[in-house]
Chains A and B, each alone.
Chain A
Amino acid sequence: MKEITCIVCPRGCRMQAAEENGVITVVGNSCKRGYDFAVSELTDPKRTVCSTVRTAFPDVPVLPVRVSGEIPKARIFDVMRQIGAVCVKVRLGRGDTVIENVLDLGVDVIATSDILIENGKAGGNI
């Protein structure tokens, strides 16, 4: 049996999940999403990653990014290395792809802010 704290929503349900003969039982969840999360924690834990990437624009040294979908928990630092190696040279906007299909995981690294576009229009701030 495994104690799992659900991270799907702010409720943070505390669940117990167990696997026996390929059958997973979950107690303590309040919804289906919690159940799914518990199952995934037992079989293939997944997480999202949020970070920043360097830019070529001095007024916006870094641009916030995230993965467009969940990735295997074990690959977080691999993805971070990819994110660390990027430098954005065009004024991307929110939702634009920064790294396509990162490490063949089937998700993109996307920008999460329009700051580059806005600053491009406004020209600098304090």
Chain B
Amino acid sequence: MRMDMSKCNRKLNKQFGGRVRASFENDCIVLRGELERWPDVISACRTAARKYSRIHVVNDIVCPEAQDAPMRRPSFTDHTLEGAAPDVLVIGGGISGASIARELTKWKLNVLLVEKESDLALQASGRNDGEVHPGIDLGKGSLKHKYIRTANRMFDTVCKDLNVEFHRVGQYVLFGDVWLKPLIRLYCLWRKYHDGIEDTVLISGAQLKRKEPLLDPEAKFAILNPSAGVVCPYGLTIAYAENAVQNGAKVSLGTAVLGMEVENGTIRAVHTNRGTLYPKVVINAAGVFAEEIAKMADDRFYSIHPRRGTNSILDKKAGVYMHSIASVIDLRAQLRAHTKGGGTMRTAHGNLLAGPDAVETWQKENTETHPESIRVVFDKQKKTLPRLSERDIITYFTGVRAPTFEEDFIIERGRRTKNLIHCAGIQSPGLTTAPAVAIDVAQTAADMLSEKMTVEKNPAFDPVRKGIPALREMDEAQRAELIKENPDYGVIVCRCEEVSKGEILDALRSPICVPTVDGVKKRVRPGMGRCQGGFCSPLVTQIIADYLGVPLSEVRKSGEGSVITFGKTKTPEGGGEA
């Protein structure tokens, strides 16, 4: 393949006066040069990139400002995985990796998923709004579009099987200008007949008011996408991974891929902090680090440019203001931006959520929040829901998305490296598309393996995961029955979210035990409420310490160094001194 870069370079010259040049190498557009500022790097790469193209921009521009810290990795090394030779190694414990691992267990395969963090869904998959998108903004020709409708329809079954909270609540896109209505009607018809987004309807302002009375009173009409829904994003990721484990996969947390040995276009060995692995097939689902993994595998043909977004979670008391997903559209802003622009919604757990924003950054793991993000989101979303108030915020968090410059997924076999599959560039609506993408990726892996070995279906595969019972959701008879079996279900530890000691112990006994305060919090929700663990965190810490049989000071909040206390107040030598 050849591609003429002269037009692109003329544009780059005009913009950056010869400091950046594009060249077509190995079927990629490689950008080289030096730019001082990161926004210029983004701008240069965007100039060179074509949306949804399979020819990707590889960013090799030197940018002194954009010196990211090295990838955070576990500080320890051991040999627990030394010599392991899984049929498939999945790199990354986000929604992509977890769902792929689960789909892979439909075959009789030795599957190993490695995740460098201390829990699953610790990055983008755990730090997003949990919307199950309808696809209204997606046109044919992209992978996002290819998967969205199929995947959206799968959610009822998947979430039922995996016992994950999912509600198909519908999404409203609000418009304040009545003159836009014919245009938007055409847009929806185009989406319906051209792109197959068939359930979208236009509703009047009056109809909207009946369905969601507290949304923008100025809205003249709205797009309603009934297929949109809300899911607990980390809940789904954990459930997928647990079901994978239940069906024979192995999940190794705190395991970072540090390097690979590639010979004749084949990955021979993968080095981790827990030993060297010899997988037959490697799946790259490494999120913001997919490009680094691709490079290790000698198959780098795309670049990831991190984009952070901050969501705010509001008190459940504000959760009653609406029961769906909604946003007001500013068409002009929408055309410029590369995101859906955020919205306001009631989460799967009944909180109100506002966000996210979208900010380009070079820092892949910086999940700090900034006051500016909250301001931007609330300024915008107060138009959607006038009652929205910063006073109801109980927490906020930042996630970093992993887009390519083509703003589409990369789901394909390695271009140079044969035993590699990329599941990269996964950004919104990647949570929605995951169930369908996972089936395809797993099939690709099975096909690859069957070139060398017989790959049989796993007759014992059980798609059903029995989750931890949420007693607060149950009727009293059901609840009483469970307490009779296990009295710990009757001891409420977290008052805000009504979580019992029994549920916390269940989380600790779950297939992928993450005995940290955050691990337990993600699984059964103590500390997720309005007091943010003020009352229950000492109790939860104590339960974890007792369960593990370790001193309280060894229990962590999340990562390795995140201890909660430093040991006893009283040492046998005597008290302290100022």
Interface residues of A (CB under 8 A from B): 51-54, 61-62, 77, 80-85, 87, 126
Contacts and interface: CB of A to CB of B under 8 A. Distances in A.
B576 A80 contact: yes
B575 A85 contact: yes
Interface of B: 491, 493, 501, 539, 568-578
B570 A126 contact: no
Contacts of B577: 77, 80-81
Contacts of A61: 568
Given A84-B576, A87-B572, 10 more contacts: A53-B570, A54-B570, A62-B570, A81-B575, A82-B575, A84-B575, A85-B573, A85-B574, A85-B575, A126-B501
A57 B491 CA distance: 23
A87 B571 CA distance: 10
Nearest to B543: A126
A84 B569 CA distance: 8
Contacts of A77: 575, 577-578
A62 B569 contact: yes
Given A77-B577, A84-B576, A126-B539, A52 B493 contact: no
A105 to B, nearest CB: 16
Contacts of A87: 572
Contact of B575 (A62, A83, A126): A83
Nearest to A61: B568
A61 to B, nearest CB: 8
Contacts of B493: 126
A82 B577 CA distance: 12
Contacts of B578: 77
Contacts of A84: 570-571, 573-576
A81 B578 CA distance: 12
Nearest to B488: A126
Contacts of A85: 572-575
A52 B539 contact: no
A123 to B, nearest CB: 15
A84 B574 CA distance: 4
A56 to B, nearest CB: 12
* For the complex of A and B, 3 pairs with smallest distance between CB atoms: A84-B575, A80-B575, A84-B574
17 contacts: A52-B569, A54-B570, A62-B570, A77-B575, A77-B577, A77-B578, A80-B575, A80-B577, A81-B577, A84-B570, A84-B573, A85-B574, A85-B575, A126-B491, A126-B493, A126-B501, A126-B539
Given A126-B491, A126-B493, A126-B501, A81 B570 contact: no
A11 B432 CA distance: 61
Nearest to B492: A126
A52 B575 CA distance: 10
A74 to B, nearest CB: 13
Contacts of A83: 575
User: Which of the listed residues B491, B569, B578 has the most CB atoms from chain A within 10 Å of its own CB?
Assistant: B569
A84 B572 CA distance: 7
B289 to A, nearest CB: 41
B537 to A, nearest CB: 14
Contacts of A52: 569-570
A81 B571 CA distance: 10
A126 to B, nearest CB: 5
Interface centre among A51, A52, A62, A126 (most CB of B within 10 A): A126
A84 B568 CA distance: 11
A20 B43 CA distance: 78
A115 to B, nearest CB: 16
Contacts of A62: 569-570
A62 B460 CA distance: 52
A108 B198 CA distance: 81
B574 to A, nearest CB: 4
Contacts of B572: 85, 87
Nearest to A126: B491
Contacts of A51: 575
A81 B501 contact: no
A51 B574 CA distance: 13
B577 to A, nearest CB: 5
A71 to B, nearest CB: 15
Contacts of B574: 81-82, 84-85
A87 B572 CA distance: 8
Contacts of B570: 52-54, 62, 84
Nearest to A85: B574
A126 B539 CA distance: 8
A62 B491 CA distance: 23
Contacts of B569: 52, 62
Nearest to B539: A126
A53 B578 CA distance: 18
A84 B578 CA distance: 14
A51 B575 CA distance: 10
B422 to A, nearest CB: 48
A87 B574 CA distance: 10
A51 B576 CA distance: 12
A126 B573 CA distance: 30
A93 B575 CA distance: 22
Nearest to A80: B575
B13 to A, nearest CB: 70
A10 to B, nearest CB: 25
Nearest to A79: B575
A80 B574 CA distance: 8
A53 B568 CA distance: 11
Contacts of A126: 491, 493, 501, 539
A83 B577 CA distance: 12
A81 B575 CA distance: 4
